[in-house]
């Protein structure tokens, strides 16, 4: 399913996909020690830095294809919005774009 999504994914399916991307970016040993939920924030809860967020963004773009302009969506946010960004914000954005 790595190019374009054929069927609309549920929020749970999107969460599982994003959880896998987070694991790939920050490492399985780190992820095992935390409780990642849709309300987890990228900077506070997951402690992801800008390089890791960019790597995560690339995985989202490559997986969901051109239907999801994740980089463009992020670029319209100010710094405070990005700092407060939660996984559920991205889940909702992806679901809206399907």
pLDDT tens digits for 35-93?
999 999 999 999 999 899 989 999 999 998 878 888 889 899 998 998 899 999 999 99
Task: Reply yes or no on domain 11-97 having CATH 3.40.50.970.
Answer: no
7, 41 contact by CB (below 8 A): no
Can you tell me the distance from the alpha carbon of 89 to that of 92, in angstroms, rounded to the nearest whole number?
A: 5
Is the pLDDT at 3 greater than 70, yes or no?
no
Query: In this predicted model, what pLDDT tens digit does every residue of 4-37 receive, in sequence order?
Result: 445 789 999 999 999 999 999 999 999 998 999 9
pLDDT of the residue at 6:
55
Domain ranges for the chain, please list them.
11-97
pLDDT of the residue at 65:
84
């Amino acid at each position: 399913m790595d190019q374009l999504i054929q069927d609309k994914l549920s929020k749970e399916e999107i969460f599982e996909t994003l959880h896998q991307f987070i694991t790939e970016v920050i490492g399985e040993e780190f992820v095992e020690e935390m409780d990642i939920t849709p309300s987890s924030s990228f900077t506070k809860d997951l402690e992801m830095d800008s390089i890791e967020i960019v790597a995560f963004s690339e995985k989202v773009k490559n997986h969901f294809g051109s239907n999801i302009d994740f980089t463009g969506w992020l670029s319209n946010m100010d710094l405070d919005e990005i700092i407060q960004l939660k996984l559920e914000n991205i889940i909702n954005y992806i679901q809206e774009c399907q």
